[in-house]
Amino acid sequence: MSLRSIGGKLIKHGTAIIRQANKGKTAANPQRRTISNTVKPLQQTSLPSQKTDLAKNRYYVLRNIGIQITQRARRLLVEDVLNGVSSKVFQKTSQRGLFGNTAPLLSLVGCAVVGQGLLTKDEELEGVCWEIRECMSKIQWNRDMISNETPFDDSPMNLQAFTFGKPIAKGSNAVVYSVKHTSRDTSPLALKMMFNYDIQSNSLAILKAMYRETVPAPIYFNCHGISDYEHEFLNMTRHLPPHPNIVKILSVFTDFVPELEQCREMYPAALPKRIDPEGEGRNMSLFILMNRYQQNLHEFLNAPNQLTSRTSILILTQLLEAVVHMVAHNIAHRDLKSDNILLDSTNIENPLAVVSDFGCCLAEKSLDLTVPYTSFDIEKGGNTALMAPEIISKKPGPFSKLNYEKSDLWAVGAIAYEIFGAQNPFYGNKNTRLSSMSYKNEDLPPLPNSVPSIFNNLVKNLLRRDPGERLYPDIAANICQLFLWAPSSWLDKNEKFPTYKEILEWLLNLAAKIIVEGGKLKSFHERKKLNYAEYLLISTFLCRVKLHSIRSALEWIRDGTI
């Protein structure tokens, strides 16, 4: 049966197909915390008043049915072709790599849809782009591509479930130990213990004071279970859904501070008096269980490794994708720095970068990314050296507001100097370093000559004093993604500007390659055999991609404006 006849039958019998396709199915719920029901129930809408003009009413009914049938037909056609291609391609995974074969594996999808007359306008092309986002979102979240380890269940967790190893790192507010679950065969994990000096040894009090640390966490427990008060409080805070470039927190719980290896030497003041009579800490604190990462970005950049320009670009792109994800969920980190970026450097040329340490973040449901700033008592964030100009220079007043929409983006621009092997202009000697309070755009030093000019311009844009002159996070991330994966002719302003159809075909090719690589990831330990960070980077890009935003990024690359 030809594709044209299939399309005709879909249109003719669209209503029956929709009913049959959705029979017995329930909508997939996004992954969310187990501590609260954060999804509000769907409110019933009022029925429209009955029209007196029956002819007009019939017209609207038929029009709506036609729109639904067309959209469903397009979706079924794209999904059928994607599924058919994926089943054939998975059988040939040993013959094709992620970047080795650039044949248009999914171009037939675009041809098939065009052949049915469904893609005649830019809006309809954008609709197919939506199908790509839906397909890639299912692959990314339903398959648990980050790790094949058995996830921790919802049973209450405490320190007795772990065997402690040596300390990994210590900061001013916490210490991190290597741990392993006593009853499960898992890879090495890390357990972060927060220092508690002045919060009473009560789970709810600790949670209220340190709730920001739990923002990326899917599960929370205390040593006695969880109370309704804690449910209610956590329901008032925002939760950051999982993302490949956000630290993977497996569980968060409160428990009594234990006596651990080197505790008296590393953090004696944080110990309770039952362990050290001279200690100033409380008996209970917050514990965060997470994946173990080899090092942070600062350590990685200072290691005797000669980083290639591509490796630096991969790291920068991952940080921008993390910022896009946070902004999309109305969360501002407010303390981005190289120490708070962890790396899985199993593959040194393609490290996986994640943003961690959310202790200074803005994540209240009652606020978006704009906060009233009426007095100096309202905190602005963490690291003042990398605090955006619009934040650090803002003075309190009855109508003053702190806008964090592009503040993390500015911090990534400053960190980019370190990523590309240059001195961060906002660090160093107080006589030579720039101050985010007073610097001018022309004061910014250039990046090394080995860095492509696109990124020199991009970093300068991210660090512009006026946030209105900066790119939006998704456009900035798209610029990096286009540089990495798009045809080089698209970046040349002397070449023809790609059409929406050409962009869509390129996206379909990327989607096909992700489907191919998805069948190869059989175990967590096989990461070293794959460009795993690149795989995740393309996946996250395809999960949020929109044709108009790609076009905007291309316009900026070619002309410097949008």
Q: What are phi and psi of 151, to 5 degrees?
A: -65, 155
- Whether residue 82 sits in one domain with residue 215: no
Token readout for 321 is: 């994708």
Domain that holds residue 82: 1-34+55-142+472-562
State the pLDDT confidence band at 348, using cuts at 50, 70 and 90.
Answer: confident
50, part of any domain: no
Q: Are strands 370-372 and 162-170 parallel, antiparallel or unpaired?
A: unpaired
Q: Which CATH number is 272's domain given? A: 3.30.200.20
Question: pLDDT tens-digit profile of 521-535?
Answer: 544 444 444 488 898
39, part of any domain: no
- Whether residue 464 sits in one domain with residue 490: no
Measured CA to CA, the distance from residue 491 to residue 559 in angstroms comes to 10
Contact 187, 524 (CB under 8 A): yes
If one compares 16 and 544, the residue with the highest pLDDT of the two is 544
Cα R_g (the chain), whole angstroms: 26
476, part of any domain: yes
If one compares 27 and 368, the residue with the highest pLDDT of the two is 368
DSSP state of 164: E
Q: Is the pLDDT of residue 12 over 60?
A: no
State the pLDDT confidence band at 354, using cuts at 50, 70 and 90.
Answer: very high
- Whether residue 192 sits in one domain with residue 306: no
Show Cβ contacts of residue 15 under 8 Å, excluding neighbours closer than 6 positions: 65, 69
Under DSSP, is residue 306 helix (H, G, I), strand (E, B) or coil? coil
DSSP per-residue letters across 375-395 = STTS---S-GGG--HHHHT--
Residue 69: the pLDDT is 56
- Which residue, of 265, 292, 319, is where some domain finishes? 292
Q: Is the pLDDT of residue 264 over 80?
A: yes
Measured CA to CA, the distance from residue 457 to residue 479 in angstroms comes to 11
Q: How many Cα atoms sit within 13 Å of 173 on the Cβ side?
A: 12
Contact 414, 435 (CB under 8 A): no
Measured CA to CA, the distance from residue 340 to residue 321 in angstroms comes to 16
- Which residue, of 264, 292, 320, is where some domain finishes? 292
Residue 61: the pLDDT is 55
Question: pLDDT tens-digit profile of 275-325?
Answer: 999 999 999 999 999 989 989 999 999 988 778 999 999 999 999 999 999
Under DSSP, is residue 145 helix (H, G, I), strand (E, B) or coil? coil
State the pLDDT confidence band at 233, using cuts at 50, 70 and 90.
Answer: low
Q: Give the chain's end-to-end CA distance (angstroms, integer).
A: 45
Among the listed residues 144, 198, 335, 474, the single catalytic one is 335
Measured CA to CA, the distance from residue 417 to residue 222 in angstroms comes to 41
Residue 94: the pLDDT is 40
- Whether residue 122 sits in one domain with residue 168: no
Measured CA to CA, the distance from residue 22 to residue 140 in angstroms comes to 23
Among 33-42, 87-96, 402-411, 537-546, the minimum mean pLDDT is found in 33-42
State the pLDDT confidence band at 83, using cuts at 50, 70 and 90.
Answer: low
Under DSSP, is residue 475 helix (H, G, I), strand (E, B) or coil? helix
Looking up tokens 């003053």 gives: 400
- Whether residue 243 sits in one domain with residue 168: yes
Show Cβ contacts of residue 20 under 8 Å, excluding neighbours closer than 6 positions: none
559, β-bridge pairs? none
Sheet holding 220-222, edge to edge: 162-170, 174-181, 189-194, 284-291, 249-256, 220-222
Q: Is the pLDDT of residue 17 over 60?
A: no
Contact 59, 51 (CB under 8 A): no
The overall average pLDDT reported for the chain is 79
CA angle 53, 54, 60 (to 5 degrees): 95
Residue 119: the pLDDT is 46
Task: Tell me how crowded residue 113 is: count the other CB atoms within 10 A of its CB.
Answer: 24
Q: Is the pLDDT of residue 202 over 50?
A: yes
Residue 141: the pLDDT is 62
pTM: 0.78
Measured CA to CA, the distance from residue 288 to residue 159 in angstroms comes to 11
For 328-346, give one letter per residue: b (16+ CB within 10 A) or e: eebbbbbbbbbbbbbbbbb
Instruction: Give the mean model confidence (pLDDT) for residues 395-410.
Output: 95
Looking up tokens 């590309």 gives: 420
With a pLDDT cut of 70, the percent of the chain lying above it is: 69
- Whether residue 242 sits in one domain with residue 118: no
- Which residue, of 450, 471, 492, is where some domain finishes? 471
- Whether residue 351 sits in one domain with residue 427: yes
User: Could you give the number of structural domains in the chain?
Assistant: 3
Question: pLDDT tens-digit profile of 112-122?
Answer: 444 445 444 56
Contact 390, 439 (CB under 8 A): no
260, part of any domain: yes
Question: pLDDT tens-digit profile of 481-517?
Answer: 999 999 999 999 999 999 888 998 899 888 888 877 7
- Whether residue 485 sits in one domain with residue 463: no
Instruction: Give the mean model confidence (pLDDT) for residues 333-356.
Output: 93
Residue 59: the pLDDT is 58
Instruction: Give the mean model confidence (pLDDT) for residues 246-273.
Output: 93
- Whether residue 325 sits in one domain with residue 200: no
If one compares 377 and 123, the residue with the highest pLDDT of the two is 377
Contact 252, 219 (CB under 8 A): yes
Active site residue 335: yes
440, part of any domain: yes
Task: Tell me how crowded residue 141 is: count the other CB atoms within 10 A of its CB.
Answer: 18
Continuous H helices in 389-531: 389-392, 407-419, 453-462, 473-485, 500-518
Task: Tell me the CA distances in angstroms from 66 to 9, 63, 72, 518, 545, one per residue in order.
Answer: 14, 5, 10, 36, 27
Q: Is the pLDDT of residue 23 over 70?
A: no
Show Cβ contacts of residue 519 under 8 Å, excluding neighbours closer than 6 positions: 89, 90, 93
403, β-bridge pairs? 370
- Whether residue 187 sits in one domain with residue 269: yes
Instruction: Give the mean model confidence (pLDDT) for residues 335-355.
Output: 93
- Whether residue 480 sits in one domain with residue 495: yes
95, part of any domain: yes
Show Cβ contacts of residue 57 under 8 Å, excluding neighbours closer than 6 positions: 50, 51
189, β-bridge pairs? 179, 291
262, part of any domain: yes
Measured CA to CA, the distance from residue 293 to residue 352 in angstroms comes to 9
- Whether residue 1 sits in one domain with residue 121: yes
47, part of any domain: no
State the pLDDT confidence band at 95, using cuts at 50, 70 and 90.
Answer: very low
Measured CA to CA, the distance from residue 64 to residue 36 in angstroms comes to 37
Continuous H helices in 164-308: 203-210, 228-234, 263-266, 297-302
